[in-house]
Chain A
Amino acid sequence: MDLSKPVPNSSESTDDTVMIRVSSWTPEQQIARLLSLCEAQMESALSESDVAVEALVKSFAGLIEAGQALGSINEKTPEAGASDLAGQLDALKKQTAAAIVAFQFYDKLTQRLGHVRYSLSALAMFVCDSAKTSERDQWKRMFATLRRLYRTEEERQLFKMMVEGASAEEAREHIQQSTLTLRTAPTGEIEIF
């Protein structure tokens, strides 16, 4: 993408501020774009963590329930409880597996927020250098630096959307869609070379 081009107009809005935004290139416009990107990344990460926390709560509730059931079975005679116990242990195993997947999203969240923090820090330094902020090539480099920072698929997709001029609403829709996908397929791909 050529970042020197104005942000594409996504609507036929007659709003003056929008018209100014799409018709001219200014350093301030680029700052706004980057800050929007950071905000969207944080929102996406938080949305993802909500799913994980929800799964954790469910998993632990299941574990507690299974533990209580095991306690009840323990009071029965071994003969009567053997098959029930196997079933409860199997349920416990499934709940533990779900908790292990959910816990990993905390690690991912930490990583993503770390990237956002780095982005904000880099931007803060950048905007202080007026010689850089007036140069389009320097902005291109800044975007390229941040692009390399984002390593997960979710981060990359969101970055692409925002630098290509997506609105905050479009980004929010994308995040909601990603969260839905996450609920149905929470784990990553595996490839053997």
Chain B
Amino acid sequence: MSGSASQNSRVILAVDDSASMRQMVRFTLESAGYRVVQAVDGVEALDYAKNSTVDLVLTDVNMPRMDGITLVRELRGLSTYKFTPMLVLTTESGQDTKQRGKQAGATGWIVKPFSPEQLLSTIARVL
């Protein structure tokens, strides 16, 4: 788990088992002034979220230990995360998986690769 500080008070929890993807997300979000906290999988993200507060969750789907859809479902079960925006950022574009994400409580679905501009506008829209 690692984080970075900036002028913006909004905290985004970025969850991905790929280090390069986490870096791309961090570069993008920090350039817009968000504070980014990173987690390598759903277990680490859930643990962090239970002990801290984040304003938005951006998660991959396929990860070891706990996948992103399970993470969203688990977070939605917590009173503090009932209304927190949760975006899924994944290479998965299949309708079945997307529907599972929606049913778990995801706010939106972004298929990789993302463009920094589109990611930032989507986050601004749901925050």
Q: Which listed segment binds A: B6-14, B44-52, B106-114?
A: B106-114
B91 on the interface (CB 8 Å rule)? yes
User: A192 and B108: CB pair below 8 A?
Assistant: yes
Number of interface residues of A (CB under 8 A): 25
Interface size class of B (residues with CB under 8 A): 20 to 34
B20 on the interface (CB 8 Å rule)? yes
User: B91 and A100: CB pair below 8 A?
Assistant: no
Q: A137 CA to B126 CA in the complex, in Å?
A: 47
What DSSP secondary structure best describes chain A's contact surface? helix
| A160 to B: closest C-beta gap in Å | 13
Q: In residues 147-193 of chain A, which contact B (Cβ within 8 Å)?
A: 151-153, 156, 186-193
| B126 to A: closest C-beta gap in Å | 7
| B33 to A: closest C-beta gap in Å | 14
User: A188 and B111: CB pair below 8 A?
Assistant: yes
**Which residue on A lies nearest to B103, using beta carbons?**
A193
Interface 1/0s, chain A 18-48, versus B by CB < 8 A?
0000000000000000000000000000000
User: B118 and A151: CB pair below 8 A?
Assistant: no
A111 on the interface (CB 8 Å rule)? yes
B73 on the interface (CB 8 Å rule)? no
Residues of A near any B CB (own CB < 8 A): 96-97, 100-108, 110-111, 151-153, 156, 186-193
